[in-house]
Amino acid sequence: MEKPSKNSKKTPAKSPTKTPAKKPTKATDAGKTQPKSKAAPKRKVASGKTRTSQNDIASASTEAESQQRYYEDLGSRLAERAYELYVQRGYKHGHDLEDWLEAERQILPKEMFER
């Protein structure tokens, strides 16, 4: 049986740990570490590559939120106008679709020209 030499020590088993993220080594690698959003518009940089800035991402999400609020508000205005028409009709049931379509005829042309 062989004796272990003095230089060969047993190393303790390593516990599983997370490895640190790799740091960019070149100036061109720095832009590759940021995640890119599909919704954000891209700009061309001097090298000819496209790059998404944080301002572009913020403006795209702000625009989407603004558009969502606009359509939610439009739906509520249409519902209010349809209800007003229902009240003017004397609360007669069975004309809900007619009231809704009339509300659309009255509100949507104004909205199309304002935008």
| pLDDT digits 0-9 by tens, 30-48 | 555 555 555 555 555 565 5
Residue 38 DSSP one-character state: S
Q: pTM value?
A: 0.44
Residue 84 CA to chain centroid, in angstroms? 36
Q: What is the Cα–Cα distance from 6 to 17, expressed in whole angstroms?
A: 29
For 17, 34, 61, 64, the CA distances from 54, given in Å and listed in that order, are: 32, 10, 11, 16
Residue 18: per-residue pLDDT = 60
Q: Which of the residues in the chain have pLDDT under 70? A: 1-54, 111, 113-115
The first and second tokens of residue 25, run together, are 């080594």
